[in-house]
Amino acid sequence: MALITAEAYKESLNDGREVYYKGEKVDNVATHPDLAVCVDLMAIDYQMAEDPELRKFAVMEDPETGEEISRYYYTPKSAEDLLKAHDLIVKATELGDGYIPLAHDIGADALNAINITANMMGNQDYIDRIENYRKHLQDKDLATCAGVTDVKGNRMLRPSDPAQAHPDFNVRVLEKNGKGIVVRGAKVHITGAAYCNDILAIPCRAMGEADADYAVAFAIPANTKGIRQVCRPFTSHISPLEFPNSRPVRVHSDSLIIFDDVLVPWERVFLCGEWKFAAIMVYNFALMHRRTGCAYRIPLSEQFVGVAAAIAEYNGISEAPHVKEKLIDLIIYLETLKSLSKTACYDFVMRGDIAVPNPIATNMAKYHFAHNYHDVVKIVQDLAGGLTVTAPTYKDYMRPELHDDIDKYLMGNKKISTENRLRMFDLIRRITKSDLETICLHGEGSPMAERMTIYMEGANVLKQCQKLVEEMAEIKR
């Protein structure tokens, strides 16, 4: 088979999975009034493969079988492979109006991290399992997500520490039998899990010997017995108080995934007790995932530049010197992110026979985006002004006795209609809303996580530069 349609993807979700939303059990996520919006966003990945103009981004020929497969599920071997995946993520996110569709990409990040770890372990059983699973994903074109973040409990304590309130804050192996392993625990912040086909679960931290039961990685269908998901509520429509927009609303939901004594078949187990390799798997997932994060943050950054330039013009201030300074800062922000993201692909390194983006450049790109995010939002809000939050609503604007006065008094630049100015205020409110702030700061890891990785990966840079100046100073050690 190899590729499926967007409609087939939606139909596959009606499989009896146990999903809850706003306190109610969902019969079918694909037809639920809210969750269907998320499903439509994820379906963009499949629509790209069907579109004659877009399939060049999403589809490639498997060099072994000659079949067309999703580019996401191909094992990257070169800078070209990484760059094409980067361009695919950017284009898909553009089509999602700044929201990444997520049908394959983050699941592919977990897939590659597992593959790298198996190769570095030299465990042929795990190597065969993950390669067979990759072929399964290529053949079925399944939507996947990465279940990484455990709920953790007391974060100052290790997963196995008896001082924890209970032993299930991190997903763990309860039992091994002839069929597979039985796991218990919970994952949180798992975007798109409620409307994926398979969940790839991996550890979210380094483990000690006492934590061996928590060093577990596996893949499991979302409708497996014992898996329950609780979805975060969200707004699935544009408010009737905002100016109407025919473009579809784009949004994702995140799940708390509960694994209640779930049986995972051995052929889908990729780590089971090898605690020394948990950190390697986490590290490589973080690296691949931050590459993905940097790519899909590019369209959002372009939106920030766009709304800043537009509202400066609409307010009649675009020629002011201090405004130009702010716009320059935004251009630097965007172009630095784009340059670092592509540099990471060009300057790739090999890990476990798989090409991965340069670790320092990737973490610099993600840190740059997250660390400066609030400054960028501040610039946009500063240029927009107080009307961003105090302007009359669309319903007020449309009242006959108010329309002409609002139209008269809330005009800025006479070349721009009042309605267009008010529409831009609506858009700015949407793309600078508070939940995006947390996502942009902590998604793919906190800024401190990036800094720690840069320091660790930059150890050789420090040594080389120190050696250089010691030679200049004729210091012998």
State how far the Cα of 337 lies from the Cα of 361, in Å rounded to an integer. Answer: 10
Query: What is the C-alpha separation between 299 and 328, in angstroms, rounded?
Result: 18
Confidence (pLDDT) at 64: 86
Residue 37 within a domain: no
Has residue 364 been placed in a domain?
yes
Task: Work out the average pLDDT over 435-459.
Answer: 81
C-beta neighbour count of 360 within 10 angstroms: 21
- The answer to whether residue 18 sits within a structural domain is no
Q: Is residue 161 part of a domain?
A: no
Model confidence at 445: pLDDT above 90: no
Q: What is the mean pLDDT of the chain?
A: 95
* Neighbour-count burial of 409, counting CB atoms closer than 10 A to its CB (0-12 exposed, 13-18 middle, 19+ buried): exposed
pLDDT reading at 437 higher than 70: no
What are the beta bridge partners of residue 356? 349
**Residue 280: predicted pLDDT:** 96
User: CA–CA distance from 25 to each of 21, 228, 229, 237 (Å)?
Assistant: 6, 10, 10, 21
- Residue 31: inside a domain: no
Residue 239's pLDDT band, with cuts at 50, 70 and 90, is confident
Residue 345 lies in a domain: yes
In this prediction, residue 449 carries a pLDDT of: 85
Full DSSP string of 224-249? -TTEEEEEPP---S--TTSPP--SPP
Per-residue pLDDT tens for 35-87? 999 999 999 999 999 999 999 999 999 988 899 999 999 999 999 999 999 99
State the total domains in the chain.
1
pLDDT of residue 1: 63
The range of the structural domain enclosing residue 333 comes to: 280-467
pLDDT above 90 coverage of the chain, percent: 91
The alpha carbon dihedral of 164, 169, 171, 175 has a sign of: positive
Does the pTM surpass 0.85? The reply is yes
Confidence of residue 229 (pLDDT cuts 50, 70, 90): very high
Whole-angstrom CA distances from 180 to 136, 238, 266, 268, 431 are 19, 46, 4, 9, 45
pLDDT at 2: 81
Report the pLDDT value the prediction gives residue 203, as an integer from 0 to 100: 97
HSE (CB half, 13 Å, CA atoms) of 42? 31
- CB burial of 316-340 (b: ≥16 within 10 Å; e: otherwise) equals ebbeeeebeebbeebeebbebbbeb
Instruction: Look at the block and give the residue holding tokens 């000659």.
Output: 66
Total residues belonging to the chain = 477
Q: What share of the chain is helix, strand, coil (3-state, %, to 5)?
A: 55, 15, 30
> Within a domain: residue 341?
yes
Helix, strand, or coil (residue 152): coil
Could you give the 3-state DSSP secondary structure of residue 350?
Answer: strand
At 37, give phi and psi (nearest 5°): -65, -40
Work out the average pLDDT over 152-163: 96
Per-residue pLDDT for 235 more than 90?
no
pLDDT digit string, tens, across residues 338-351: 999 999 999 999 99
As a whole number of angstroms, the distance between CA 322 and CA 84 comes to: 38
- pLDDT > 70? residue 177: yes
With H, G, I as helix, E, B as strand and everything else as coil, classify residue 188.
strand
Q: Rounded to an integer, what distance in angstroms lies between the CA atom of residue 139 and that of residue 193? A: 21
Residue 238 banded pLDDT, cuts 50, 70, 90: confident
Which CATH number covers residue 311? Answer: 1.20.140.10
Contacts by 336-340, CB closer than 8 A, 24 or more apart: 336/368, 337/294, 337/297, 337/298, 337/301, 337/365, 337/368, 337/369, 338/298, 340/294, 340/364, 340/365, 340/368
8-state DSSP, 154: S
17 forms beta bridges with none
Beta pairing, strands 254-265 & 354-356: unpaired
Q: Tell me how far the alpha carbon of residue 239 is from its chain's centroid.
A: 26
Residue 188 included in any domain = no
